[in-house]
Amino acid sequence: MQMIEMGRRGRNMAVRTKLVAGNWKMNGLREEGSALARALAQRAIAAGGGGLACELLVCPPATLLVTVGGLLAGSGVALGGQDCHAAPKGAYTGDISGEMLVDAGCTHVILGHSERRHGHGESDAVIREKILGAWRAGLIAILCVGETQSQRQGGGAFDTVSAQLAGSIPSGADSANLIVAYEPVWAIGTGLTATLEDIGAMHAAVRARLPTGVRILYGGSVNPQSAAGIIGLGEVDGALIGGASLDAESFWAIARCCS
């Protein structure tokens, strides 16, 4: 059984490029956001084609998208949004559409993050409509799923994540328009990290419920010290980074773990 699993993981890794994505959340004014973007662009340009074995993506606040996108131009670092509305336009004060993100230079958008699910009451149905809106605009959706500490302690982690996947992913999903990020809620911003065994088991369970080739990232207090072990797991296709993405050196160190 173990040999079969290892063989399957090897075949999967051969066709999936790793991705390291930075979620800046509600952090960064123009000066500091520009400095961070410049530092990342300089590193990426200096590394050229052979410096990293992964793709890079940063998702700054909406106020910084155009500024950061301009500074990253030509570096190979992609730009993403942190959320989008399901509709292309309309009377939705404070919201931003997928089309607006594309107009600002984005190729990706994070949807269903636990801070949206728990802080803004977003249901799987709402997230599903947002994913459809992202696809309509031509964006790659990064769907976040994950269980709370009480759900894990109560033995419901796998059921919780399975339900989120089933309720959030529309038909038509494939490796070209969807990425999934598994982020245990109890590990986000807490300094806690799931064990490698738990991460590998959940990623394997998630992969069994996804179309072939869809990448799965891990998120939850990933830092340069923990990244190598996590990203080295056969079922893990990269990482969605929070706090560590606000420091260029730390973010770059995590990206280098993909080699």
Q: Which tens digits make up the pLDDT trace of 54-102?
A: 999 999 999 999 999 999 999 999 999 999 999 999 999 999 999 999 9
User: pLDDT-derived band of residue 161, with 50, 70 and 90 as boundaries?
Assistant: very high
Tell me the per-residue pLDDT of 169-218, one tens digit each, with 9 for 90 and over: 999 999 999 999 999 999 888 887 789 999 999 999 999 999 999 999 99
What residues contact residue 31 under an 8 Å CB cut-off, 6+ apart? none
**Residues 236/218, Cβ–Cβ less than 8 Å:** yes
Query: Is 135 or 4 the better-scoring residue by pLDDT?
Result: 135
Question: Quick check: 168 pLDDT over 80?
Answer: yes
CATH topology of domain 18-25+32-45+52-256: TIM Barrel (3.20.20)
The reported pLDDT for the residue numbered 50 is 62
Catalytic residue among 85, 183, 203, 235: 183
183 has catalytic annotation: yes
CB atoms inside a 10 Å sphere around CB 191: 9
Largest CA distance in the chain: 56
Give the pLDDT mean for 32-46. Answer: 97
The reported pTM is 0.93
Residue of 113, 115, 147, 203 marked catalytic: 113
> 164 exposed, middle or buried (CB, 10 Å; 0-12, 13-18, 19+)?
buried
Average pLDDT over residues 160-175: 98
Confidence (pLDDT) at 215: 98
Measured between its terminal Cα atoms, the distance across the chain in Å is 28
pLDDT band at 49 (very low <50, low <70, confident <90, very high): low
